[in-house]
Amino acid sequence: MGTDVEIEHGFPHLETVRTAITALYKRLSPDTVQTFGVSVLPVDVAFSADEDPYLGVQRVAGAMVRHLRLPDARMIVSFREMRHAGSIELTAGPEYFIELNSRFKSHREDIGAALAHEVMHVYLHRLDLAFAGTRDNEILTDTAAAYLGAGWLLLDAYRESSVSTQKLGYLTPEEFGYVLAKRARVFDEDPSPWFTSPQAYEAYTKGLARARRDERRPPLAAAGRLAHHRYTRDRRTARSSPADGYAFEGHDPPRVSFPCPTCHQRIRVPVQGRLHARCGLCRTVLDCDT
C-alpha cells in the first residue's frame, strides 16, 4: 500500500474477494446491505485549496463515520512519516486513533481513499467480522469498503505512469473494479463518472467484464451457446466444472450446485430444464437452464 511500488494486476485474490462478499451478506443480512445503496459522493471528500489539512481530515473521517452509520465512534486522525498509507489502533472505542502517511498533507485528493480503508477496519471490528491472516483480512477490508460504497475512492487513487506509480489497498486495480461492478449491478449505480484517474477507469472496465462473466456461467440461462453445450455434455456424465463452478450431486433426482452471481453462496437446484432459483442468502432470483 503506497507509492512507487510494482503494482500487481489481474485477479489473483478473486476467490478471497468472493468469500468476502458472501461473508458480508451472512453477517449483515441482505436488508442491511441494501441500506448502502448510495455511495460516498465526491463532494463529501473533496478538499479546497485553502482548507487546513488537520480540520479537513477530521471532516472527511466524519463523512466516513456517517456513511457507515457509526455515530458513537470518534476518529482521531493524525499524520506521521510511515511506510504505509495509514494505520489504526482497534480498541473497544468509542475513540479510534488513525495515523495517515504525512504525504497526504500535500496529496489531499487521496485522503478519502486512505480513510475509507481505515474506518472500514473499525466497522468490521465492531461487526466482529474478520478473516484469519493479515493478507486475507486486508482483502476483506478492501472488499467491504468497495461493496458498501466507500471503496471507489481506493480505486481512484490508483495511478501508474513512467514517472511514478501509486496504489492504495490490497486488491489489484482490476479486483477493485470487479467488486465495484458487483455493487453497481446490485444498486444500479455507475461509479465510473467519479473517477479522476484514467487508469482507474480502465481497471473498472476490466473488472466489469469479469463480473459479467459470473452472470453468464452455466447453468444460468444467460450462458453462451458454447458454455451451455459444455454444461450439457458434463451433465450427461455428472462431471463437475471447477472453472464454471457447477457440480452435480445425487441421482434421484440429480441436482446441480453453483455459485450465486451476486453473493457467491452456493445454490442447489434440481436438474429439470428451465427454472427460476432464488438464492437463500441474498434473495436474488436467477433464471436457470439446468
Domain boundary among 215, 241, 258: 215
Give the span between the Cα atoms of 114 and 109, in whole angstroms: 10
Residues 84 and 177 in one domain: yes
More confident residue, 90 or 270: 270
Looking at the DSSP assignment, which residues form a beta bridge with residue 74?
95
Looking at the DSSP assignment, which residues form a beta bridge with residue 3?
166
Smallest CA-to-CA distance from 27 within 111, 100, 107, 129 is with: 129
- Let me know if residue 150 belongs to a domain: yes
Residues 231 and 259 in one domain: yes
Residues 193 and 247 in one domain: no
Q: Could you tell me the residue range of the domain that residue 96 belongs to?
A: 13-215
For the stretch 95-104, contacts whose Cβ atoms lie closer than 8 Å and that sit 24 or more positions apart, written own/partner, are 96/122, 98/61, 100/57, 101/2, 103/3, 104/53, 104/57, 104/79
Beta-carbon contacts of residue 48 (< 8 Å; ≥ 6 apart) = none
Helix axes 134-147, 173-187, angle to 10 degrees: 40
Measured CA angle at 98 (ends 78, 183), to 5 deg: 125
Residues 211 and 231 in one domain: no
Beta-carbon contacts of residue 266 (< 8 Å; ≥ 6 apart) = 257, 258, 259, 260
- Let me know if residue 269 belongs to a domain: yes
Residues 186 and 102 in one domain: yes
DSSP tag of 251: S
Give yes or no for a contact between 33 and 199, defined as CB atoms under 8 angstroms apart.
no
Q: Does 1 score more than 70 pLDDT?
A: no
Residues 104 and 134 in one domain: yes
Residues 24 and 131 in one domain: yes
Give, rounded to a whole angstrom, the gap between the first and last alpha carbons of the chain: 44
pLDDT band at 5 (very low <50, low <70, confident <90, very high): low
Smallest CA-to-CA distance from 18 within 157, 189, 140 is with: 140
Chain segment 108-138, per-residue pLDDT in tens: 889 999 999 999 999 999 999 999 999 999 9
Residues 59 and 189 in one domain: yes
Q: Does 64 score more than 50 pLDDT?
A: yes
Q: Please tell me the predicted confidence (pLDDT) of residue 86.
A: 84
